Structure 1
Amino acid sequence: MTASALRPLLLTQGDPAGIGPELTLRAWLERKAAGLPPFAVLCDPLHLASVARSFGWDVPIQAVEPEEVIGVFPKALPVLPLAGRVFAVPGKPDTANAPSVVESIEKAFALVRSEVGAAIVTNPIAKHVLYETGFAHPGHTEFLATLASRDGDAPHPVMMLWSETLAVVPVTVHIALAAVPGTLTTDLIVRTGRIVARDLRRRFGLTHPRLAVAGLNPHAGENGTMGHEDEAIVAPAVRILQSEGIDATGPIPADTMFHARARSRYDAALAMYHDQALIPIKTIAFDEAVNVTLGLPFIRTSPDHGTAFDIAGKGMARPDSLKAAIRLASRLADKERRP
């Protein structure tokens, strides 16, 4: 029996004024056609029910205990209730809902760490709303890493954007482009490559993962004529990874890495900065890509989009990425093996 058949996946609330609630409802409505495993949502069941009514969707919502999720899921959307009520207007973020956003993440983490849940699937949050209430973390990923570090794990989280056709990892993530050359180090690339290779083996089931490492500069520096970072920082990192038995190649000019023939030669591409990684995958697999956090002591996936306040409540949001995130979380939970 699979891991996700024994333990449910846990969906966090996300920002209740965004598209997360409606996507969650649609995912449950489409559960059979999409082949989704059992999941529960950590949210206010009354708020979720009000969202369903606003669309005229017939979604029975049932507050449950964790052990009841598997049995309830076929006939109702199971909800693990939060401590307080949530009042949210679609498209109108409100700092009053920030505590419920944080509580949902913390409860999902606690249930996964106690092995009640198989994995966490996080609905989108609005970081600027949380910052206004004193939230001290750059985002979901860093918050989950901090929670895990309280157990003594001190993980180094790595963001992977994954689809069936392309998987990319930005080595530096949410920083200004001007700050990338000063932030990028050989050690950071090596640490990232090690985690990617390990989790591709442990969670994706690849026995010999292949990594393609992008250069930072045009033409990977053109032998130093377009910048020295590729020779001084990226190339040494590739050599270290190779010396450790990891199948890594690079630095490769980024403009030749993402066509179909090139993609057939690697399992994941390490990019040096955010847009170098996200532009190709959002071009190739905009609706199907999934955000996977590697390096954590549990499985966490997320749809590859934000709260989309501009379309929240209008019925325009597509649940494709959330459904893909649910399926991938189940797949990784079933494949995971410890080193």
Structure 2
Amino acid sequence: MPEENRPLALTMGDPAGIGPEITAGAWQALRGGTIRFAVVGDAALIARHGVPVRDIGTIAQVADVFAQAVPVLPVALAAPVTPGQPDSRNAGAITTSIARAVELARNGQAGAVVTNPISKIVLKKAGFAYPGHTEYLAALCNVPGREVMMLACPELRVVPITIHVSLRRALDELSTEGIIAATRTTHAALIRDFGIAAPRIAMAGLNPHAGEDGSMGTEEQTLIIPAIETLRRDGMDITGPWPPDTLFTPPARARYDVAMCMYHDQALIPLKTIDMTNGVNTTLGLPIIRTSPDHGTAFDIAGRGVADPASLVAALRMAGRMAEHRNPT
């Protein structure tokens, strides 16, 4: 079966968060279309939200089930779930769900992995050794250190060069080599998975006014510009470094396909300000496709029936489109 026709593997996320509710909402939004998924998780949690569910034995059964019920590949929970009250005893089920979904994608049974939100704090209490989802996925795919996080909405794509570290540590870790590696991975993914034949890349500066010729910082001159020069020699259409405070205005966004940012919040603040509802997190540099909603577990509203599934729907749709671009018919 072509990869673009294969069902997507959707992880459970933290069972005490809004994952079960937005999963039910996503199924209601997509059940009549061509994008289908199986949840790797607990059927009872999803059934709480008023949708039919059905345990399945293999992901191949999704085609026969999806129109009538949410297909679920069962993962047993270690402790009862109360919405809004996370329990580290269920950490093993959460990570098992992710590992099984990755395995389904790696062996060709699933077209992509879509992940519901997890709580890093909950997992860390149970001994989880990774800073976040992105790094764990890279380890599962045997490509640690090659992962690149991209956030996308209809009006903007951003990639942070440094990710889940403190701002002080991010400044220490930023390097010309890291900028080059992340940009090369992003460029290749835009061509392969997004169908952009000649990606236009904008490089953000690190300092106010992009350093103002060294008067407000020299990282642009010592780290960023050498990376840009190397990438241009690779044949990339790349501009910058641009002052970060003007890079995300509507006229500026019209001139590039992705903005490479120097640290986490430089990338995520504009993306979430512009369109958090439809924001999608996707991991580049993996041998599989992975997307995720661009929000967290939202324990404060879990179980209240008010969670918006729009970002998860967007993540599922993006995963489907990426699969189509990666394996055109």
Report TM bin, short chain: over 0.9
**In the alignment, which residue of structure 1 is the partner of 2:126?**
133
Cα pair 2:206 2:219 within 8 Å, conserved: yes
Residues 300, 90 of structure 1: alpha-carbon distance in 2 compared, 3 angstrom cutoff: same
Measured in 1, the distance between the counterparts of 2:34 and 2:257 equals 25
Measured in 1, the distance between the counterparts of 2:194 and 2:282 equals 11
Segments of 5+ residues of structure 1 without an aligned counterpart are: none
Q: 1:83 deviation in Å?
A: 4.2
Amino acid at match of 1:147: L
Amino acid at match of 1:62: R
Q: Which of residues 48, 51, 61 in structure 1 aligns to 2:53?
A: 61
Measured in 2, the distance between the counterparts of 1:316 and 1:20 equals 12
Measured in 2, the distance between the counterparts of 1:197 and 1:337 equals 18
**In the alignment, which residue of structure 2 is the partner of 1:37?**
35
Measured in 2, the distance between the counterparts of 1:264 and 1:187 equals 28
**In the alignment, which residue of structure 2 is the partner of 1:17?**
16
Measured in 1, the distance between the counterparts of 2:55 and 2:212 equals 60
Measured in 2, the distance between the counterparts of 1:156 and 1:224 equals 31
Deviations 1:230-266 (CA, angstroms, capped at 9, x unpaired): 1100110011100111111111111111111111110
Measured in 1, the distance between the counterparts of 2:176 and 2:145 equals 19
Matches within 5 A, 1:147-296: 147-149=140-142, 153-154=143-144, 156-296=146-286
**In the alignment, which residue of structure 2 is the partner of 1:145?**
138
- Helix, strand or coil for the counterpart of 2:226? helix
- Helix, strand or coil for the counterpart of 2:194? coil
Q: 1:275 deviation in Å?
A: 1.1
Q: 1:2 deviation in Å?
A: 6.4
Q: 1:67 deviation in Å?
A: 1.3
Backbone CA RMSD of aligned residues: 1.5
Deviations 1:87-110 (CA, angstroms, capped at 9, x unpaired): 210000001111110110010011
Matched, 1:3 2:3: yes
Measured in 2, the distance between the counterparts of 1:209 and 1:84 equals 44
Amino acid at match of 2:123: L
Deviations 1:209-239 (CA, angstroms, capped at 9, x unpaired): 0110000000110000001111100110011
Q: Which of residues 92, 109, 131 in structure 2 aligns to 1:99?
A: 92
- Helix, strand or coil for the counterpart of 2:158? strand
Amino acid at match of 2:24: L
Cα pair 2:198 2:237 within 8 Å, conserved: yes
Measured in 2, the distance between the counterparts of 1:66 and 1:39 equals 9
**In the alignment, which residue of structure 2 is the partner of 1:108?**
101
Measured in 1, the distance between the counterparts of 2:209 and 2:106 equals 44
Deviations 1:191-219 (CA, angstroms, capped at 9, x unpaired): 00000000000100111001100000001
Deviations 1:27-86 (CA, angstroms, capped at 9, x unpaired): 1122257x461111001223332x22xxxx2x1110112111111101111000114565
Between stretches 232-241 and 174-183, larger displacement belongs to 174-183
**In the alignment, which residue of structure 2 is the partner of 1:74?**
67
Deviations 1:244-297 (CA, angstroms, capped at 9, x unpaired): 111111111111111111111100000111111111111111100100100010
Cα pair 2:150 2:157 within 8 Å, conserved: yes
Cα pair 1:36 1:323 within 8 Å, conserved: no
For this pair of structures, how many residues does the alignment match?
327
Amino acid at match of 2:139: T
Amino acid at match of 1:44: D
| Identity of matched residues, % | 50
**In the alignment, which residue of structure 1 is the partner of 2:287?**
297
Q: 1:161 deviation in Å?
A: 0.4
**In the alignment, which residue of structure 1 is the partner of 2:46?**
48
Segments of 5+ residues of structure 2 without an aligned counterpart are: none
Measured in 2, the distance between the counterparts of 1:322 and 1:84 equals 23
TM-score w.r.t. length of structure 2: 0.96
- Helix, strand or coil for the counterpart of 2:135? helix
- Helix, strand or coil for the counterpart of 2:141? helix
Amino acid at match of 1:67: A
Measured in 1, the distance between the counterparts of 2:261 and 2:77 equals 42
Measured in 1, the distance between the counterparts of 2:234 and 2:14 equals 42
Measured in 1, the distance between the counterparts of 2:24 and 2:169 equals 40
| Moved beyond 6 Å, runs of 4+ | none
